[in-house]
Structure 1
Amino acid sequence: MWTVLSWSQFSCQEIKSTGIQSAAPSIDYKAKSDTIDILHYSINLDLTEVQQRIIKGYCDITFTPKMSNVNSIRLDLLMLPIDSILVDGQTANYTYNDTIIKLNLGANLSSTDTGLIKVYYQGSPQGDGSNWGGWHSQSGYYYNLGVGFAANPHTYGRAWFPCFDNFVEKSTYDFTFKTVLPLRPYANGIRISETPLSGDTISTFWQMTDQIPTYLTSVAASNYAEINDTVNAMNGVLPIQLMAKPTDSLKLVNSFVNLKPTFHSYESAFGPYEWQKVGYAVTTVGAMEHATSIHYPVNLVNGNLGGEDIMAHELAHHWWGNLVTCETDADMWINEGMAEFSSHLYAEDVYGREEYLDIVQANAFTVLSTAHINDDGFKPIQGLDHEYVYGTHVYQKGAMVGHNLRAYLGDNLFFSGLTTLLQNNKYGNLNSNQFRDQLAQITGKNLNHFFDNWVFNPGFPQFSIDSMWVYGNSADLTVTQRTRQAPSRFVLIPIHITFFSATGDTTSRKMVHTGGKMPTTFTSLPFSPAFALVGYDGFQLSGNTYDEHVINRAGNFAASQSYMRITANSIQDSAKLIVMHNWAAPGGKIPASKDYRLSPQHYWTIQGIDLNNADLTGRITISPAATSLDTELLKNGSDSLVVLYRKDATEPWELYVNQQKTQISITGYIDLNNLQAGDYTLANSGEKVGLEENDKQHGKIDIYPNPAKDKVFIKFDEAAKTYDITMTDAAGKLLYSNEVTSSSHSPLEISLKNVSTSFVIVSVNGIGSKVSLID
């Protein structure tokens, strides 16, 4: 029903997630569709009093039993009073409790029989508890949204007509609406006629000849102006019909300039558009993929492309959700995850591969950072409880899985396989097992491991280069997989290793990772590599996100996907810095004499080109919030929190010398001065790090002046305590080293004569403070 990456969509998603409730009792859901097949609905509604939120009319339901001796039927209708019900023209006996109509058919019917039920009803159609689904009457718009997020089931056709309200019952429709001009109704399918009645009253007849479930039916009425166009589709020329108020028409056209390119992108990817028209009607709240009659929120009709991804997402449902529908809401990722993936995919055709990769990598960061928070834990994307089926795992992780399935199969098998899958099941339903098994049969690829890894189980893999030995244009690597909240390591995962030359050139090579540590060799590279990274080029999305900075000025460089802000204190020439955030526990060697407790959640890898050209500081923000990655480490307070460093995983973790911790109230940060290439992790340690602000406030240790000229002083407040003191210059050269016994009266003096760099790092027991130097 919507995408992720724009602010307006994300707001919509919050409404959906917060509105979902699990307490509502489920109505008779799928079982009745195993007994009776609804062939056709004919909905005839008088909307002349719709401004008073009153509808009235009747619905004809043509049905046939799927077995013998069927003598009753249960229909779903929500809080709309019934005037009478006829079965094959005869008055019928029924009971109705504002939710379920239990209707006696008056005879025992067999699978060769066809019956007609006519339900006369009227009243005020309902919204649902989320204030999203159901009926809306506001600002001159009158319409339904077919999903109720606080309803169980979420399908919400029952809000405006009697029906079998589930995902599997698919039927054809026609609609007759009586309205008073200037209100014109818009519905699924094709408008067959508009007939004047009396005065300003008109009757409009629409026909939907393709089968759809009840939640994809729609009506929208307003003083619409029509925007008509056509598109050259695989199945011939199709009409495009956009409906907006006259004042919004031009803005809608400008916001939809890429509708046709998006349409062609999807046909190229997934096969022909199998519907009667392409249609959108502007409404007020929410975007909803009603088949051929998408409801699109007016706040996105602004003349720019800010909501284009939502336009694309809803159109994509005409392959994912509308053409092939999830069997139950437990498989909602087939509808929403694949539509969300498609709303990223169109950008590749419209804006280019680089834009697509930026989008999918930003989406992966959203998944890794928020899915477990939004959905109360790490979850699979299939088989979720009712309250999570419209959550971040289904939409955003579902889209991530779509991208990774593309990497797993390769473009040729992926797109041709999905096209065949959709054609084989068009106007039908699929569950996740059927999706897997049919796609495997079509492509000839075993998909059991992929679906076990990504669909049926929670968590993520994370990959890193733990070691690399270079000889000429070849490299021996050890590539290690770590996991985050997954029950086991992922197997048969195709990943790309991106190699970087000393001048910044790159080349990527593919390998299939099978478990934990995996050695591999790459030969005939176009250059001698300086370093390599996994997860850089976006080929396979996993527990690696990063920020890349071109350092060509002094100043701050924000952390968008790495959780480490970079400050360039000075710059001699340009440099390139990559800050990779690894979403898994780092593991590794710990010296026997140390009591380090490493972060169980994450660590960083720093790499770059010409890093010697810049004096860089990395800042890690510390927060004890329940959603923080560092909550476990902060349970005992921040006094024991330190940053450890290793050049690569072949070396043990050691205290990073040039770190400086600052506590501000209950949050704070650690600055990593003289930032070097290598791995960094937060840890608990008995090696205490003085908190700079607290130290100054409480007089424990004071390093002054800063900036300094000829000398620097260290003042201690405790006598007869031993400290290890070192001082290094900007290049890391040791200038001073001594073990001193403190005096609370006499500060330690260190000379700065003959020091020519712009700053020095003064370290007390391995914890550094940066002191700038002035002439």
Structure 2
Amino acid sequence: MKKILWLLCITLFVGACSTQKPVTTKTEPAQELIAEVDLDTLDIESSVDEGEGEGEGEEEVEVETTLSPYSPTAKRVNDLLHTKIDVRFDWAKEEVYGKVTLRLKPFFNPTSTLTLDAKGMEFKKVQFAGKDQQLKYTYEDNQQIVIQLGRSFNRNEEYSIYIEYTARPKADGGSDAITSNQGLFFINPRNEELGKPQQIWTQGETEWNSRWFPTIDRPNERCTQELYVTVEQKFKTLSNGILTTSTNNADGTRTDYWKMDLPHAPYLFMLAVGDFAVVKDKWRNIEVAYYVEPEYEADARDIFAHTPEMLEFFSNKLGVNYPWPKFSQIIVRDYVSGAMENTTAVVFGDFIQKHKWELIDDSNDKIVAHEMFHHWFGDYVTSESWPNLTMNEGFANYSEYLWFEHKYGSDYADHHLLTEQGGYLGSAAGGVHPLIHFGVRDKDDMFDAHSYNKGGATLHMLRSYLGDEVFFTALKNYLTQNAFKAVEAHNLRLAMEEVSGEDLNWFFNQWYFAAGHPKLNIEYSYDAAAKEAVVQVSQTQSEKGVPGVFVIPVGVDVYANGRSTRHDIRVDQREQTFRFPASSKPDLINFDADRALLAEIEDNKTEEELVFQFKNAPKFMDRNEAIERLIGLESDQVAGLLNTALNDRFYYIRSIALDNLPEEISPELMTKLRDLAQNDKHSEVRSKALSALADTGDPQTLAVAKAAFEKEQAPSVRASALGIIYQENEEEGLALAEKLGETAKGPLLEAIAGIYTDKGDAKYLPFFEKRLKDVDGFTAISFFESYQILASAGDQATIDKTIETLKNFGTSSDPSLWRKFGAVKALNDLRNDFRVKARSASGTEKTTLSSTADRITKIIEDIKSKETNAELKSVYDQLPVIK
């Protein structure tokens, strides 16, 4: 599953004006709220009287008197071998009418009962398959059915249970990663929402498929599968495995029969129903299919670009061919997470459903790779318990790095790694826990920046330490030895040890089973008398549960006399000094030269050393660290460095340089900016270069902007160009905005909203009201803000309508947390605006303004009281309030 770290981005947005200390760590820590587990302790005092032998003078000791929280792997009593499901639906009632046949046998010990997860169901029949006699059962807390089998079965005896039932899937919770645990969702079931398709889709992770069929809903269970689904003939269906038959029925329905002959976990079962265009590809002899809304049929191969190529790359890289009979990807509305790796049938939220031109700025490569890689790590080999989730998600996270490295090069991959490290380090500021987290209180809490970001970064460190040949050979062994099995972290350790011949407990103990990460202070010096370069390393981490000393094998590059020399060292003390031969003072000593270490590092390099590092060290992170730390320093060296950065091979460095141009623009630099605006290979650079040109007052800017607007397809570049055209010629810019407003998306939609807001004309309010439902991500925040600003200048009726519209978005079941936050933030801004205006008003005007502000306050409090997402409520509380 791909978790969307929306909260991290929102927190950055809310706190964007806070001051930061200079960059001294590998990454800029962001903030994310992470639960902290505390152990109950009790102080025990000695009861020995003074002077009584050994007890005299003893200090008080702190003794743990309760067990730590522990989330065990599910006990297996019965082994589920095969599941046969037959379902049809009542859209109006949002009910599932189902028949399920389960073939099982005792796991080892004899048993006379079967316990199935079956949440919120009504049972019509519970019996052995092929027999009419009802079996006795109890239904516990509307969650589990406990069936009496009538006699004891041993481990060599199979039996089949048949159940007819009605399921009424309802949510009773959710989390940051999976916002609803409903399991099966009816989308626009009664066709009441104009423009929204009717759909049914499922979301089984963690243990929510048991809301629509009875099963043993645990990750360490695994079975083969058949699914019969009956729907109206106008709909298409998708499930796991192969569509074996499709039969039209006399009542205008159709029954599709999907069959999965390879075993997989029940949480990976899926079903989707709706009006989809299906575009088919092929990889080797395996069908690859893309399910999209009909409007996007022509864009399907761009939405899921490189899918066959990824299948080939991962199969070759791992030495294990894609193991399943097909690979399908489907996009659904109102999805409650980012995406889900259901075996052979991945589900994505509609945020990835874009036209080809929208994908120029933001491709779907990362999320497609992530979900695909799960088909090896998660589906083929599955975490045995949710505390071991990183055995699924850490690998899927690292697949993103592997794909970027293969397709776009090491700079692109390392930039991604830096972002992932930053996400983890930011979350760690709110608390740390072991990567394998048996102390987790709620399984859904495992979907965090530890399981994902830290898990991926840890695999990268392991690869860097062992080398590619050992690492990937061991992964092949891990997959083949554990095929169709449930695993824990020790399975990976043993596979790595078998190939490397090395005991790796030290690595797994500190990175998988302990919490946190190293915090290092690095000092560099030169001992002229001894002719040695000196590196002093201090480990400063001190949090509870974090090792006081990490074992850190790392490379140090010493640059002197026109060449670099690699020295491999092992940091394994709290304070440690390393010396390396150097006939003269080095130009640079570069600790962690491979840039693989996950750590917070206070790296005390001089300005001269950082400039040298930018120009000579080989990796993106070297150049990024140097330029980030040198920004703002006024010197000729730094000014020259920014000019060099504009020609860097990687777009992100060029982008940083564009953000930090000098006030005085030379003719040579002006020429460079024009060239970047028109010819750079990356749309972000072209867009920023255009904006930079506009700030310089270059007389050629308008011509360059018009040319870009005509020839460009990238929304970000067209948005910059439109802003320049409007700035130079309002009438012409406004005409272009009105022409494109109905279809614009992303940055271009933001630019048009800004133009309409600048005009201040209420006639543009219907445009906003029509498009509010279409925006997402940061665009949603700025778009709702523009709507609120424009509406606040209207009469009281307009303001009342705006308040009601924002209220509806804030209280809706809309799965987009961005839209909900954008609406509440806009309400908060509107309230603050009225409070400020009321201070200088008098009489009736003051009363009206204050009354409206108080009404908005009640609405915001009502929204907060009804919001079930704790993280979103927390962000609401951070919004500034003017009294």
**TM tier relative to shorter chain:** 0.5 to 0.7
Instruction: Provide the residue aligned with 1:217 in structure 2.
Output: 269
Task: Give distance in 2, aligned partners of 1:94 and 1:174.
Answer: 25
SS of aligned partner of 1:348: helix
Task: Give 1:47-66 correspondences, 5 Å limit.
Answer: 47=89, 49-50=90-91, 52-66=93-107
CA contact (8 A) 2:87 2:98 kept: yes
Q: How does 1:379-418 map to 2 (within 5 A)?
A: 379-387=434-442, 388-418=445-475
Q: In structure 2, what is the Cα distance between the partners aligned to 1:11 and 1:218?
A: 31
| Alpha-carbon displacement from aligned partner over 1:214-264 (angstroms, at most 9, x marks no partner) | 1100001111121111113xxxx2211221121122333212212233223
Q: 1:248 to 1:199 in 2, by over 3 A?
A: farther
Query: Distance in 2 between the 1:275 and 1:359 partners?
Result: 29
Q: Conserved in 2, the CA contact under 8 Å of 1:167 and 1:326?
A: yes
Q: 1:476 aligns with which of 533, 537, 543?
A: 533
- Pairwise CA distance, 1:528: 6.8
> How many Å apart are 1:565 and its aligned residue?
8.0
- Is the contact made by 2:521 and 2:540 (CA closer than 8 Å) also made in structure 1? no
C-alpha deviation, 1:427, in angstroms? 0.9
1:18 deviates by: 8.5
Matched, 1:488 2:566: no
Conserved 8 A contact 1:77-1:159: yes
Deviations 1:315-336 (A, max 9, x none): 1111111111111111111111
1:193 corresponds to which letter in structure 2?
A: T
- Once the two structures are TM-superposed, the CA of residue 494 in structure 1 deviates from its matched residue by 2.1
Name the structure 1 match of 2:153: 109
Distance in 2 (alpha carbons) for counterparts of 1:61 and 1:407: 46
Counterpart in the other structure of 2:321: 272
Q: Who is 2:226 aligned against?
A: 174
C-alpha displacement of 1:100 = 0.9
> Residue type matched to 1:393 in 2?
H
Instruction: Say which SS state the counterpart of residue 389 (structure 2) adopts.
Output: helix
Structure 1 SS opposite 2:518: strand
Cα gap change, 1:181 to 1:470, in 2 (>3 Å): farther
Aligned length: 550
The answer as to 2:301 corresponding to 1:256 is: no
Q: Which stretch shifts more, 479-488 or 159-168? A: 479-488
Superposed CA offset, 1:552-601 (max 9, x none): 9xxxxx99999968325464784449xxxxxxxxxxxxxxxxxxxxxxxx
Determine if contact 2:526/2:585 at 8 Å carries over to the other structure.
no
Q: Is the 8 A contact 1:194 1:202 kept in 2?
A: yes
The CA distance in 2 between the partners of 1:465 and 1:68, in whole Å, is 58
Q: Check conservation: 1:178, 1:201, Cα contact below 8 A.
A: yes
Match of residue 436, structure 1, among 487, 490, 493: 493
**Residue number among 188, 204, 211 corresponding to 1:146 in the alignment:** 204
1:56 Cα offset (Å): 0.4
Partner of 1:731: none
CA distance in 1: counterparts of 2:323 and 2:558, whole angstroms: 44
Q: Distance in 2 between matches of 1:81 and 1:564?
A: 63
Q: For 1:372 and 1:569, how far apart are their aligned partners in 2?
A: 32
Greater CA drift, 126-135 or 75-84: 126-135
Aligned to 1:599: none
1:132 aligns with 2:164: no
| Residue type at the aligned position of 2:95 | I
Specify the code of the residue in structure 2 equivalent to 1:126: K
- Output one character per residue of 1:14-51: Cα deviation in whole Å (capped at 9) or x when no partner: 9xx999999xxx9x996552x2111100000013x236
Matched to 2:203, the amino acid is L
Question: 2:238 aligned to 186, 193, 197, which one?
Answer: 186
Query: How do 1:441-590 residues align onto structure 2 when only pairs under 5 Å count?
Result: 441-463=498-520, 465-469=522-526, 475-485=532-542, 487-500=546-559, 508-522=566-580, 529-535=586-592, 537-544=594-601, 566-569=631-634, 571=636, 574-576=639-641
Contact (CA 8 Å) 2:520, 2:539: kept in 1 or not?
A: yes
Distance 1:501 1:8, change over 3 A: farther
Out of 134, 137, 157, which is 1:94 matched to?
A: 137
Supply the distance in 2 between the matched residues of 1:390 and 1:64 (Cα, whole angstroms). 32
Q: CA 1:560–1:513 in structure 2 vs 1: closer, same or farther (change >3 Å)?
A: closer
How well do the aligned residues superpose, as a CA RMSD in angstroms?
A: 3.7
Are the structure 2 counterparts of residues 190 and 413 from structure 1 closer, same or farther at C-alpha, using a change threshold of 3 Å?
same
Q: Which has the higher helix share?
A: 2
Matching of residue 2 in structure 1 with residue 54 in structure 2: no
CA distance in structure 1 between the partners assigned to 2:397 and 2:602 by the alignment: 20
Match of 2:403 among 331, 334, 346: 346
Structure 2 counterpart of 1:246? 294
CA spacing shift, 1:475–1:412, aligned 2, 3 Å:
farther
Supply the distance in 2 between the matched residues of 1:278 and 1:21 (Cα, whole angstroms). Answer: 39
Question: Structure 2, unaligned stretches of length 5 or more?
Answer: 14-31, 38-68, 188-195, 616-622, 643-661, 664-883
Q: Give 2:116's aligned residue.
A: 75
SS of alignment partner, residue 343 of structure 1 = helix
> Residues 66 and 453 from structure 1, CA distance in 2 versus in 1: closer, same or farther, beyond 3 angstroms?
closer
CA shift, 1:366, in A, is 2.0
Amino acid at match of 1:383: F
Change in 2 beyond 3 A, CA 1:522/1:560:
closer
Query: Structure 1 residue aligned with 2:80, among 38, 42, 45?
Result: 38
Contact 2:533 2:582 (8 Å CA) reproduced: no
1:587-606 equivalences under 5 Å are: none
Q: 1:301 to 1:19 in 2, by over 3 A?
A: farther
Deviation at 1:107, TM superposition (A): 2.4
Q: What is the SS of the residue equivalent to 1:337?
A: helix
Distance 1:43 1:10 in 2: 41
Counterpart mapping for 1:274-293 below 5 A: 274-284=323-333, 285=335, 286=337, 287-293=339-345
Alpha-carbon distance change, 573 to 395 in structure 1, aligned in 2, over 3 angstroms: closer
Conserved in 1, the CA contact under 8 Å of 2:304 and 2:364?
A: no
Higher relative contact order (CA 8 A, sep 6+): 2
SS at match of 1:396: helix
| Counterpart Cα distance in 2 of 1:463 and 1:408 | 19
Q: Give the superposition deviation at 1:10.
A: 6.8
Alpha carbons of structure 1 residues 381 and 10: separation in structure 2 relative to 1, 3 Å: farther
Amino acid at match of 1:168: N
1:150-191 deviation line (CA, Å, top 9, x unaligned): xxxx32221110000111110000100000032111001111
Q: Map 1:696-775 onto structure 2 (within 5 A).
A: none
Q: Structure 1 residue 296 and structure 2 residue 357: aligned? A: no
For 1:484, what is the secondary structure of its paired residue?
coil
**Tell me, which stretches of 5 or more residues in structure 1 are unaligned?**
148-153, 553-557, 578-613, 616-775
The structure in which a higher percent of residues are strand is: 1
TM-score (ref. length: structure 2) = 0.57
Q: What's the secondary structure of 1:91's corresponding residue? A: coil
Contact 1:535 1:545 (C-alpha < 8 Å) held by counterparts: no
Q: By how many angstroms is 1:208 displaced?
A: 0.8
User: Are 1:461 and 1:483, in contact at CA under 8 Å, matched by a contact in 2?
Assistant: yes
- The Cα of 1:431 is off from its aligned counterpart by 1.6
Q: Give percent identity, aligned residues only.
A: 21
Contact map agreement 1:42 1:175 (CA 8 A) in 2: yes
C-alpha displacement of 1:372: 3.4
Counterpart-to-counterpart distance in 1, 2:462 and 2:228:
44
Deviation for aligned residue 1:377: 4.0
- What is the one-letter code of the residue matched to 2:165? Y
